[in-house]
């Protein structure tokens, strides 16, 4: 079939490549002219996604994948349209639909009878039916559920391992009506492959959740669960610090039976998903006090980490502090909502002079992110913010002059730090 993928970002482009690998003809639509140019040349516009470079080049060379800036024209040539445009929330947790509204209007211009439209961007519950359906109808003079099919099917993958995750996890689908759900199910069965998994209550594959609202909630619920779980672990860590306990020994003990699934505490919760989607849920359900408390607990961790550092180091006024890791998680070249930003701000609030280093970024790239890049300056304290694999071998000789190391991710080996104050959160 002919498929249009709207937005060729870190999720959309791998999806387009996956669809093309199943023998379909895919047109990727993106507002970024440089992205369109690189994709048409068979070159990945961003690094770090496993297997993307070679699979993209193969799909383009075979004539199964191309890119354009004309979304309406691409939609007009397609039988299925998958939309993966970013949705953000502001500081108050209110969704900013601007980019998605624009993309939806462009899709509506090219929409033809019989087309399937699938939204994969995480959305507040009710958005597909209450916002996108009327907007698509108004711009196309077609009726959702009658003239075209409409579903919500959330992406459930992590950058860096998109192709593996597409196989590993069930593909959730929810339609605005039964016919849409059937069309969505048939589409995803034609473009995805699934690993066999004996741990699931039903066979791995495409799961129809019964409505677009249920599918929207499933995505928000699974991500909010992680935020709440981490928030609880972080509160346990803070209590363990007060009582001189090692919280990880406690967590490992709890998780030795099947009813406890405590996550790991840490210096920050970052990325496009966990800090953002609970806020979308709260926009739907402002009375969700547990969700709000967990979000507040996680948001406070960078500041708390600086307090722990100060308690071990002493007055931080004028102290040069090296922050190790700008990325929001180890092995990923991405700073979206990374803990590095509030951590640097909290260090400055204490009068410290922070510097940031990351093995995945040059000093110039860090400065472009608005961060104070480390260019060889000596430091007397250091904080591990991201759990990059490179930090597992870190030793005092790598950080001469550092008197206190705060490992906010428990990635370094304490045995290597004899003679230097080595501290962790919760223990």
pLDDT in tens, 32-69: 999 999 999 999 999 889 999 999 999 999 999 999 99
* Residues sharing a CB contact under 8 Å with residue 233, sequence separation 6 or more, in sequence order: 247, 251, 262, 263, 264, 265
Architecture of domain 2-210: 3-Layer(aba) Sandwich (3.40)
- Tell me what pLDDT residue 272 has: 87
Task: Give 298-332 pLDDT, tens digit per residue.
Answer: 999 999 999 999 999 999 999 999 999 999 999 98
Look at residue 91 in the predicted model and tell me its pLDDT.
77
pLDDT tens per residue across span 349-368 = 999 999 999 999 999 999 99
- Cα–Cα distance measured from residue 340 to residue 346, given in angstroms and rounded to the nearest whole number: 10
- Distance, CA of 17 to CA of 422 (rounded, Å): 45
Q: State residue 200's pLDDT score.
A: 97
The pLDDT of residue 338 is: 97
Q: Please tell me the total number of residues recorded for the chain in this structure.
A: 427
Contacts with 205 (C-beta within 8 Å, 6 or more apart), sequence order: 170, 171, 189, 194
CA pair distance 33, 65, nearest whole angstrom:
16
Output phi, psi for 323, to 5 deg: -95, 120
Neighbouring CB atoms inside 10 A of 86's CB total 18
**109 in helix, strand or coil?**
helix
Beta strands in 30-105 (DSSP E): 65-68, 80-83, 88-89, 95-96
Structure tokens at 347: 């260090």
How many Å apart are CA 251 and CA 245, to the nearest integer? 11
Residue 350 near residue 310, CB atoms below 8 Å:
yes
**Contact in structure between 84 and 15 (CB atoms under 8 Å):** yes
Q: d(Cα 232, Cα 265) in Å, to the nearest integer?
A: 8
CATH 3.40.50.720 spans which residues of the chain? Answer: 2-210, 217-427
233-251 pLDDT, tens digit each: 999 999 999 999 999 999 9
pLDDT of residue 24: 98
CATH annotation of 217-427: 3.40.50.720
Angle subtended at Cα 108 by Cα 104 and Cα 113, rounded to the nearest 5 degrees: 135
User: What's the pLDDT score for residue 352?
Assistant: 98
In 3D, which of 131, 74, 67, 71 has the Cα closest to residue 98?
Answer: 131
Q: How many angstroms separate the CA atoms of 44 and 35, rounded?
A: 8
Give every CB contact of residue 323 below 8 A, 6+ residues apart in sequence. 340, 343, 344, 347, 354, 355, 356, 357, 382, 383, 385
Instruction: Report residue 163's pLDDT band, with 50, 70 and 90 as the boundaries.
Output: very high
How many other CB atoms sit within 10 Å of the CB of residue 96? 12
User: What percent of the residues of the chain are helix, what percent strand, and what percent coil, each to the nearest 5?
Assistant: 45, 15, 45
Q: Which residues pair with 382 in a beta bridge?
A: 322, 405
Find tokens 């223990």 and name the residue. Answer: 427
pLDDT digits (tens, 9 = 90+) for 169-200: 999 999 999 999 999 999 999 999 999 999 99
How far is residue 207's CA from residue 215's CA, in Å, rounded to a whole number? 10
Read off the pTM.
0.93
pLDDT at 273 over 80: yes
Output the pLDDT for position 309.
98
pLDDT for the residue numbered 92: 82
Cα-based distances in Å from 280 to 12, 294, 297, 335, 418: 21, 14, 17, 20, 45
Angle, helices 289-299 vs 301-313, to 10°: value is: 40
């Amino acid at each position: 079939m002919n498929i249009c993928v709207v937005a060729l970002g870190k999720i959309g482009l791998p999806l387009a490549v996956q669809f093309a690998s199943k023998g379909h003809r895919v047109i990727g639509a993106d507002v970024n002219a440089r992205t369109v140019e690189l994709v048409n040349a068979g070159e990945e516009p961003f690094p770090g996604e496993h297997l993307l470079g070679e699979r993209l080049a193969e799909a383009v060379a075979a004539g199964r994948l191309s890119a354009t800036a004309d979304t309406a024209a691409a939609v007009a040539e397609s039988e299925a349209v998958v939309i993966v445009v970013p949705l953000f929330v502001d500081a108050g947790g209110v969704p900013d639909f601007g980019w998605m509204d624009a993309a939806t209007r462009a899709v509506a211009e090219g929409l033809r009878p019989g087309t399937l439209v699938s939204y994969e961007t995480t959305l507040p519950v009710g958005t597909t039916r209450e916002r996108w359906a009327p907007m698509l109808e108004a711009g196309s003079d077609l009726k959702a559920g009658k003239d075209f099919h409409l579903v919500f099917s959330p992406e459930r993958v992590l950058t860096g391992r998109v192709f593996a995750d597409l196989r590993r996890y069930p593909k959730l689908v929810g339609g605005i009506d039964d016919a849409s759900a059937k069309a969505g199910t048939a589409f995803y069965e034609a473009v995805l492959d699934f690993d066999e998994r004996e741990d699931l209550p039903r066979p791995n594959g495409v799961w129809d959740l019964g409505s677009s609202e249920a599918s929207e909630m499933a995505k928000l619920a699974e991500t909010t669960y992680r935020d709440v779980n981490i928030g609880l672990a972080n509160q346990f860590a803070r209590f363990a610090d007060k009582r001189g306990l090692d919280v990880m020994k406690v967590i490992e003990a709890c998780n030795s039976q099947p009813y406890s699934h405590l996550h790991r505490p840490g210096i920050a919760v970052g990325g496009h998903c966990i800090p953002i989607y609970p806020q979308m849920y709260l926009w739907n359900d402002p009375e969700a006090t547990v969700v709000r408390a967990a979000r507040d607990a996680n948001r406070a961790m960078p500041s708390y980490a600086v307090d722990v550092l100060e308690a071990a180091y002493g007055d931080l006024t004028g102290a040069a502090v090296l922050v190790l890791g700008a990325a929001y998680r180890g092995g990923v070249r991405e700073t979206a909502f990374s803990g590095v930003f509030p951590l640097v701000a909290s260090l400055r609030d204490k009068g410290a002079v922070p510097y940031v280093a990351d093995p995945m970024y040059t000093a110039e790239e860090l400065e472009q992110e608005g961060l104070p890049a480390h260019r060889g300056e000596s430091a007397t304290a250091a904080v591990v913010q991201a759990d990059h694999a490179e930090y597992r071998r870190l030793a005092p000789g790598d950080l001469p002059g550092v008197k206190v190391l705060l490992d906010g991710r428990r990635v370094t080996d304490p045995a290597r730090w004899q003679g230097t104050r080595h501290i962790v959160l919760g223990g």
